[in-house]
Amino acid sequence: SPGRARHINASRRACLVARFGFIYAQDRFDAETLLRTYISDVETVQRIIYTAAVESFYAAKMAYWKFKIHVKEALSLGHSGPESLEDAVLDYIVCHKDEYDVHASVKEVIRSMNINPKISFPPEIDFIVLSTLIQELCCLAFSMQTLIPPLDVAFGIDGELFNESKYYRSPDSDFTAAFVAYHVWPALVEDGVVIVKGEVVTKR
């Protein structure tokens, strides 16, 4: 019979998508308010938070991949069914998400941000001030990998053609501009299809 994880996949997916929306609406706003006390330029602040979101998903996906390999190796030694080994692995990860070392992922995200040439921070401050937001995003992204299919954030690049099925324009955008100047928040995708739009600023 299918594993428990498959049975509750739809309800978990709905909760995780809702959590993504809450982080965008509340946690992102809190982080932006915090950064504005150090950095006056809104674009720089928004670029930093967007980078934190994308890097958090990447770090969590890498951690999930390693964790899954470890669990699969351990369970394969004594697995006999009735569910498949893949289902057993997924069930285990869903029930033991607390074994995910999120703090290691947070450190990895901050390290990646520190060497990202697109963002810079005043020397008297460190990206560690965003640890709360990064931790929330890493935990969310890790849980999203346990869905079937998993959820991910869309890849975005400065200068890409604005796509209204993928993004909302920020209020301070030039609404006649055809190209993305920079990203504020990533879109959420499932099997390559956007299920939650991201936010961008368009300028000429």
Query: For the chain, which residues make up each domain, given as ranges?
Result: 2-151
Sole residue written with tokens 């330029």: 41
pLDDT for 90-124, tens place per residue?
777 777 788 889 999 999 999 999 999 888 777 66
Distances in Å between the Cα of 119 and the Cα atoms of 1, 5, 57, 67, 83 are 49, 39, 18, 30, 47
Q: Whole-model pTM?
A: 0.89
| Vertex 45: Cα angle to 40 and 50 (nearest 5) | 175
All residues at 6 or more sequence positions from 165 whose CB lies less than 8 Å from its CB, including other chains: 194, 197
Residue 2's pLDDT band (boundaries 50, 70, 90)?
A: low
